């Protein structure tokens, strides 16, 4: 199954130069780096991320990938400088995928050291490594921590063997406590990623997964509703009638249970699908996406954003390697957001985070909706009095609807 298609946009210049608007007020924004490692041992049935197994590389090489990623880091530094974007050290670095740890620690550490050497990092930089529970050893975690990685995000998805089998996940859930312990021993913060609403998963089975996750006392937890993406093996099984479609009402019940469980355990939500034990355990890199900070995405299919300019790289590792070998931009296309689009985006994103949306950003003709939503229990009344639009638990279930109501043109 092929990953989903890239969005369309305007042509990106081969030299990568950004418009002057990208530098405007850059000093007020954090700068992060995302390094996409697009390799997996197997393709999970639900996944449409831009990832490739060994048989799908078609001439590209896992071994050569770090050198191309480092070349893009060099390219990024040059483009930012030549575009007049002031130099800012990286406040976050995030290795995602795919399965970054499939490469082993040495190439990852090499890329990390290169990024720090070229772009610099703040003294308190957050550096995250995604990993599958079966793709990393205690020795790997020690090596990564010694190199400066500060947190690891484990793709656990479920502790239920039947659910894992439906998702085509290969790890043994009984191994998760051991690898979490190893990460803690290495001094790393631990995040656990879960998925709810898999076909055949009941609310009670999801409750059991939550209980198992909380027994690990992770610093951070993400829980995402399963989305059936067109073109995936899971979508094909559902279309053939082998599996039932996820039920929206059941997923809503699972989300409410998740938030209740985590709140009772002392976790606080900071984005619709993310909870942290303390403010210090919030994923600053992920929050940067939701607050429109700046980041450069390295690797095939990676997305970037600097000062209202978005672009996305060519998808296949072979095409990406070719671009980097030629010293030209790996961008497939880009989009320069207008002031109106930026304001709309602030509304769309703000409704999803605990900080909420500045009520002054809501168009005057839409403000009567806010009082209605307070009475319906969708947003917090006290927060609205203070000038913020903050979704309640019930409101978070329909966050996309709330955002559309605040941004779509009247009919």
Q: Per the omega criterion (within 30 degrees of 0), is the bond before 58 cis?
A: no
Buried b (16+ CB within 10 A) or exposed e, 291-301: ebbbbbbbbbb
- Pair type for strands 309-313 and 303-306: antiparallel
Contact 100, 37 (CB under 8 A): yes
What is the reported pLDDT for 2?
Answer: 44
Distance, in Å, from the CA atom of 302 to the CA atom of 9, rounded to the nearest integer, reads 15
User: Which tokens is 108 given?
Assistant: 């990852």
The set of residues, in sequence order, having a beta carbon less than 8 Å from that of 80 and lying 6+ positions away, is 18, 87, 296, 306
Residue 64 backbone dihedrals phi, psi, to 5 degrees: -85, -10
Mean confidence (pLDDT) of the chain: 94
Whether 83 contacts 23, CB under 8 Å:
yes
Q: What is the pLDDT of residues 27-82, one digit of tens each?
A: 999 999 999 999 998 889 888 888 888 778 887 889 999 999 999 999 999 999 99
**Alpha-carbon torsion (312, 20, 111, 69), positive or negative:** positive
Cα–Cα distances in angstroms (integers) from residue 200 to residues 46, 208, 252, in the given order: 14, 14, 15
Could you report the per-residue pLDDT of 326-370, keeping only the tens digit for each? 999 999 999 999 988 888 888 889 999 999 999 998 999 999 999
Domains and CATH numbers, the chain: 20-290 (3.20.20.70), 338-411 (no CATH)
Give the per-residue pLDDT at 55.
Answer: 77
Q: Tokens 């095939």 identify what position?
A: 300
Q: What is the DSSP string of 235-280?
A: HHHHHTTSSPPPPHHHHHHHHHHHHHHHHHTT-EEEETTEEESSGG
CA distance 11 to 331: 9
- Look at residue 311 and give its three-state secondary structure: strand
Given the structure tokens 């050497």, which residue do they identify?
117
Answer whether residue 18 shows pLDDT above 70.
Answer: yes
Q: Which of 197, 189, 186, 255 is nearest to 216 (CA)?
A: 189
Q: Is the pLDDT of residue 3 over 80?
A: no
> If you ran DSSP here, which 8-state letter would residue 7 be given?
P
User: Which pLDDT belongs to residue 4?
Assistant: 55
- Answer yes or no: are the C-beta atoms of 226 and 46 closer than 8 Å: yes
For 267-290, letters b (16+ CB in 10 Å) and e give: bebbbbbbbbbeeebbbbbbbbbb
Predicted confidence at residue 1, as pLDDT, reads 42
Determine the 3-state secondary structure of 33 from DSSP.
Answer: strand
Phi first, then psi: give them for residue 334, nearest 5 degrees: -150, 175
pTM of the full structure: 0.94
Model pLDDT, residue 53:
85
Residue 203's CB: how many other CB atoms inside 10 A? 14
Instruction: State pLDDT tens for residues 242-291.
Output: 999 999 999 999 999 999 999 999 999 999 999 999 999 999 999 999 99
């Amino acid at each position: 199954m092929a990953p989903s298609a890239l969005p369309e946009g305007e042509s990106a210049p081969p030299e990568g130069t950004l418009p002057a608007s990208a530098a405007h007020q850059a000093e007020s924004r954090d700068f992060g780096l995302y390094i996409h490692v697009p390799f997996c041992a197997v393709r999970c049935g639900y996944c449409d991320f831009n990832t490739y197994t060994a048989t799908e590389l078609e001439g590209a090489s896992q071994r050569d990938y770090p050198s191309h990623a480092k070349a893009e880091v060099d390219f990024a530094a040059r483009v930012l400088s030549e575009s007049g974007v002031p130099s800012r050290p990286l406040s976050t670095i995030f290795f995602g995928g795919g399965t970054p740890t499939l490469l082993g620690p040495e190439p990852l550490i090499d890329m990390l050291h290169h990024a720090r050497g070229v772009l610099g990092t703040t003294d308190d930089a957050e550096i995250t490594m995604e990993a599958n529970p079966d793709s990393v050893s205690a020795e790997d975690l020690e090596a990564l921590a010694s190199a400066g990685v500060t947190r690891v995000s484990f793709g656990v998805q479920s502790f239920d063997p039947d659910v894992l089998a439906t998702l085509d996940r290969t790890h043994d859930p009984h191994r998760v406590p051991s690898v979490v312990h190893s990460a803690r021993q290495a001094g790393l913060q631990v995040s656990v990623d879960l998925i709810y609403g898999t076909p055949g998963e009941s609310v009670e089975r999801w409750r059991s997964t939550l209980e198992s996750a909380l027994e690990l006392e992770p610093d951070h937890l993400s829980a995402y509703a399963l989305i059936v993406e067109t073109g995936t093996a899971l979508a094909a099984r559902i279309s053939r009638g082998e599996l039932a479609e996820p039920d929206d009402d059941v997923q809503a019940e699972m989300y409410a249970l998740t938030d209740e469980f985590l709140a009772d355990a002392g976790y606080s939500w900071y984005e619709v699908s993310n909870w942290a034990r303390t403010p210090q355990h919030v994923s600053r890199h992920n929050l940067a996406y939701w607050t429109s900070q700046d980041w450069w995405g390295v690797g095939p299919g990676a997305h970037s954003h600097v000062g209202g300019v978005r672009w996305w790289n060519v998808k296949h590792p072979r095409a990406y390697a070719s671009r980097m070998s030629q010293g030209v931009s790996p961008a497939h296309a880009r989009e320069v957001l207008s002031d109106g689009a930026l304001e709309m985006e602030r509304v769309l994103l703000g409704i999803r985070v605990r900080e909420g949306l500045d009520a002054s950003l809501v168009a005057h003709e839409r403000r009567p909706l806010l009082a209605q939503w307070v009475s319906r229990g969708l947003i917090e009344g006290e927060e609205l009095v203070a000038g913020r639009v903050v979704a309640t638990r019930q409101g978070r279930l329909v966050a996309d609807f709330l955002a559309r109501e605040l941004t779509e043109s009247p009919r």
